[in-house]
């Protein structure tokens, strides 16, 4: 039988890097496979870890990564820790008048379509007869029911779309993989480049290692009945 492996997409990210560091020490996984657009600066492949290139905007790179992963083992844990909130030419919209079609399209590509394509390529590689979990990091601000403040149209909407895509994938996945878990998770506010411009004095942010610990603990606690859900860093379900 192929060895169980863990896969983290977004190896260069604050939370992604912390997840990899934690999973490397988890004896349940013989190997950790890290995916990102560019190789993390301090990365070395070794007996415990392999880096593979993957750009969420290029489905061919995701298909190629999936083929390599299949050769390395059986993924029993997959965490998609990629995401986009701001970039040099992308700022969260404060008002409707700021909406821009190209920015909206990019946010949907990175935050919704990309993780869904990862699910397309990797969920079929998970075992049919044993437990496994797949989590895409979403955000509480993607909750329609929780949206009282407004603003951040593109980020919110792309995370809401992500939640729907992963829930829909979970329904299909359970037909062939009844022990599989497929969810979206909100990591809390975490001190990473994504949240840095919005850090408010006095508002506590989790460190990436703490956030990674929360995410892995929540995944360890979820059974197949929880598949298709959207959960917070504390394991509590978040309204859609
Ligand atoms: N930090 C928070 O407070 C917070 C709160 C709620 C939800 N989240 C969610 O948690 C997840 C991780 O966020 P983070 O805080 O760790 O952010 P981060 O440090 O900015 O990391 C984001 C990651 O996404 C990757 N990425 C962006 N575009 C990509 C693309 N086209 N192809 C492949 N990878 C791409 C980045 O890769 P590059 O290095 O190549 O750009 C990076 O690895 C995101 O989904 C975010 O929305 C974070």
Q: Is residue 62 part of a domain?
A: yes
Q: What CATH number does residue 164 fall under?
A: 3.40.50.720
Query: What is the predicted pLDDT for the residue at 2?
Result: 79
State the closest ligand 1 atom to the C-alpha of 15, by its place in the atom list counted from 1.
Answer: 16
Pocket test for ligand 1, best of 187, 207, 209, 238 (most atoms within 8 A of CB): 187
Residue 19 to residue 37: CA distance in whole angstroms: 17
CB 138 within 8 A of CB 156: no
CB 106 within 8 A of CB 158: no
What are the pLDDT tens digits along the chain (240 aa)? Answer: 679 999 999 999 999 999 999 999 999 999 999 999 999 999 999 999 999 999 999 999 999 999 999 999 999 999 999 999 999 999 999 999 999 999 999 999 999 999 999 999 999 999 999 999 999 999 999 999 999 999 999 999 999 999 999 999 999 999 999 999 999 999 999 999 999 999 988 889 999 999 999 999 999 999 999 999 999 999 999 999
Q: How far is the CA of 184 from the centre of ligand 1 (A)?
A: 14
Query: What is the predicted pLDDT for the residue at 43?
Result: 97
Q: Is residue 237 part of a domain?
A: no
Pocket test for ligand 1, best of 11, 13, 14, 18 (most atoms within 8 A of CB): 13
Query: What is the predicted pLDDT for the residue at 202?
Result: 86
Task: Provide the domain limits for residue 91.
Answer: 4-231
Q: Is residue 124 part of a domain?
A: yes
Q: Is residue 239 part of a domain?
A: no
Q: Whose CA is nearest to atom 47 of ligand 1?
A: 83
Threshold 0.95, pTM exceeds = yes
Q: Is residue 240 part of a domain?
A: no
Domains in the chain, number: 1
Q: Is residue 147 part of a domain?
A: yes
Q: Is residue 27 part of a domain?
A: yes
Q: Is residue 236 part of a domain?
A: no
Query: What is the predicted pLDDT for the residue at 1?
Result: 63
């Amino acid at each position: 039988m192929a060895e169980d492996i863990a896969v983290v997409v977004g190896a260069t990210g604050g939370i992604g890097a912390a997840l990899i560091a934690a999973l490397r020490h988890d004896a349940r996984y013989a190997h950790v496979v890290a995916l990102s657009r560019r190789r993390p600066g301090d990365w070395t492949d070794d007996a415990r870890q392999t880096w593979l290139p993957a750009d969420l905007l290029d489905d061919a790179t995701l298909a190629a990564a999936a083929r390599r992963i299949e050769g390395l083992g059986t993924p029993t844990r997959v965490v998609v820790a990629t995401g986009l909130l701001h970039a040099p030419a992308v700022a969260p919209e404060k008002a409707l008048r700021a909406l821009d079609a190209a920015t909206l399209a990019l946010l949907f590509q990175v935050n919704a379509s990309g993780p869904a394509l990862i699910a397309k390529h990797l969920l079929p590689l998970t075992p049919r007869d044993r437990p496994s979990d797949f989590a895409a990091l979403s955000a509480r601000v993607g909750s329609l029911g929780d949206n009282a403040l407004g603003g951040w149209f593109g980020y919110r909407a792309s995370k809401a779309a992500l939640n729907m895509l992963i829930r829909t994938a979970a329904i299909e996945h359970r037909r062939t993989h009844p022990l599989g878990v497929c969810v979206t998770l909100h990591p809390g506010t975490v001190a990473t480049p994504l949240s840095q411009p919005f850090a408010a004095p006095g508002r506590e942010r989790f460190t990436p290692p703490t956030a990674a610990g929360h995410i892995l603990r929540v995944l360890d606690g979820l059974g197949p009945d929880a598949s298709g859900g959207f959960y917070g860093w504390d394991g509590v379900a978040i309204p859609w």
